Structure 1
């Protein structure tokens, strides 16, 4: 499809989006677990249960290295036309169903098959991380203004039991990002495991507080059917109860583990997106406005196509309502050396993470630690 727009001189600008149909690559990750189950049922070889883990943590990072980065931005004159094209939004909506299929299929697989212990671990790590992609769908749709897209976004979030995501992310994280007050912004020198102990409970508390304040302003009780978080958790619990009724209590621990790993997938994303970055506090006590330089960016094309441009995070935080197809790259911003899943693997080994990322983060701050998010650490730490 060709998009058109008019520049300041009155000239017509035409543009063909070369990635228009490549966004369908986002369908591939959720199909990988289904392939693994099918192969096991055909071969009964437990090695095939490693496929989701290998795909997400080894193959995608290697493909990012192989195919490199895409720094291309659509012309500003055609962005409005691209954003008005319903095709892109429909793709995001379609993907809402995939995390639910994967979740139910995983629990059914565990409930009916005998596997070695390491297969359970590998599948949970691989599928849990892939299904964490439910939150990137919920993220894209949850930033829309209309109730239909918000509803679709909530459905996606509930596939991993993260009902508080939209409330916390939109009203909390976007307000306090890259500040010590934000539990979802990692501090310099903080390992992902320490960060998780702050971020997971902190995000829930802030989300609940924000929703309680919203309902109080409307004169409604917090514990009511209009509480968005309670609505989402109710759906999550109903589906879990149905799965337990079908496959027995033996699947209950797997349901909990699946949801936890979906949450942890978001924790990993938050960790790599803002590690050590800090917004300046102004004389009036407020923080400076969010700019592209307050988020780590990556243009690695394979993982970006599979995550609806989530990794062009710099533009997203500077312009939260901009849809994925028109997110831009900028020249003077901090850049990650690989796509998100490659960085997740690096973060899992803190000494390696610190060796790679601390020099990059400190260099970005011009060697001045006072310009980094240190949390409670002294500047000379």
Structure 2
């Protein structure tokens, strides 16, 4: 099912998704269902897998059944829509939800003897919680208010990934859809190869960017004004406290949860710009990022669950625009499902390449100069898809 809406005057515009954004609160709460059902209903390991099954099975099915929404708010209504405090309060409310969910998961792991597959289930659901935290940090970190920026840091600190606050805003948005960006996947690059490039690359870019800023400000890189160090200190205090309470054996579990949380961001980054390339200008710089430099998805349920993250094209073209007013545009590179369904596809690289390489070629008009290739596979891909070698070298 696909819905469209014609523009409406500001006076009559009603956001039909206004209360559906509460799913962005409710879906992250699913991580609590497994431990709570185990403790208060019956001690069955199956309960612990429910959050993961919901994310990777139920959400893609709901996206398929409910369909897409191509409607946009009229531009004359956007100032009032963005000024409406309700939408900000929804994001604020998610911060304690995520902290509570993470702490309950860790408490459960620290106080229950579980088989390895039970521990794995809780690690995955808790890491999923951190993934939602990264998404919230993404939304809040772009905003100008000090409150929202600090809430972003506090949330990102849960997964020891506070450097994302710097890396994404000042690194990824600058370099997106170019070979210089470790967070932009290349055509022919599997998600498993990408993760080893993206995770360390993101941290080092964040540190370099903040070190440059500290130098410009005449401060030491170790200053408490360093926005990589600020959330890191929160993370260190949190993890040290949890290890002190539950013992050193909690350390590998916390590290695995943090890794799975970081991987949620990595897999989102992988699908958001796969193979897309901004044109390099004569002066060596790249053209301004446009909506067609990101993959877009209008699938309803996963957008409700992710604060419209999947309208990624408008986000990169207009980074400060709030989630409730992000738009769809015609002729964008489009994903066949929401992010959760695409994650499953990415886990099987041959299937991913089979589906997405053809879509990529269609999106760029089979123009190799608009493709960000995995360089080691460029010639092979050019031959496979019978692309013009001359234009590729131009």
TM-score per shorter chain, which class? over 0.9
Deviations 1:17-52 (A, max 9, x none): 111111001112222121111111120111111101
Contact 1:143–1:320 (Cα < 8 Å) also in 2: yes
Q: CA deviation at 1:375?
A: 4.3
Contact 2:178–2:278 (Cα < 8 Å) also in 1: yes
**Number of equivalent positions:** 373
Return the alpha-carbon distance in structure 1 between the equivalents of residues 267 and 209 of structure 2.
23
Structure 2 counterpart of 1:14, from 12, 15, 21:
12
Q: CA deviation at 1:129?
A: 2.1
Return the alpha-carbon distance in structure 1 between the equivalents of residues 280 and 376 of structure 2.
17
Contact 2:159–2:262 (Cα < 8 Å) also in 1: yes
Unaligned stretches of 5+ residues in structure 1: 1-5
- Partner in structure 2 of residue 152 of structure 1: 151
SS of residue in 1 equivalent to 2:68: coil
Q: CA deviation at 1:379?
A: 4.4
Which has the larger displacement, 323-332 or 347-356? Answer: 347-356
Q: CA deviation at 1:217?
A: 0.4
The equivalences for 1:255-294 within 5 A come to 255-294=254-293
SS of residue in 1 equivalent to 2:13: strand
Deviations 1:266-300 (A, max 9, x none): 00000000000000001111101100000000000
Which has the larger displacement, 194-203 or 22-31? Answer: 22-31
SS of residue in 2 equivalent to 1:43: coil
Q: CA deviation at 1:117?
A: 1.0
- Partner in structure 1 of residue 387 of structure 2: none
Change (3 A) 1:179 1:358: same
- Partner in structure 2 of residue 368 of structure 1: 367
SS of residue in 1 equivalent to 2:375: coil
Contact 2:188–2:374 (Cα < 8 Å) also in 1: no
Contact 1:187–1:277 (Cα < 8 Å) also in 2: yes
Contact 1:369–1:380 (Cα < 8 Å) also in 2: no
Contact 2:10–2:77 (Cα < 8 Å) also in 1: no
Deviations 1:58-113 (A, max 9, x none): 11111101101011101111001101111111111111112211211111111111
The equivalences for 1:1-381 within 5 A come to 13-41=11-39, 42-377=41-376, 379-381=378-380
Q: CA deviation at 1:377?
A: 3.8
SS of residue in 1 equivalent to 2:307: coil
Q: CA deviation at 1:205?
A: 0.4
Which has the larger displacement, 103-112 or 197-206? Answer: 103-112
| TM score, norm. by length of structure 1 | 0.95
Contact 2:25–2:93 (Cα < 8 Å) also in 1: no
Return the alpha-carbon distance in structure 2 between the equivalents of residues 368 and 87 of structure 1.
44
Contact 1:369–1:379 (Cα < 8 Å) also in 2: no
Q: CA deviation at 1:13?
A: 4.2
Return the alpha-carbon distance in structure 1 between the equivalents of residues 48 and 198 of structure 2.
30
Return the alpha-carbon distance in structure 1 between the equivalents of residues 85 and 92 of structure 2.
11
| TM score, norm. by length of structure 2 | 0.92
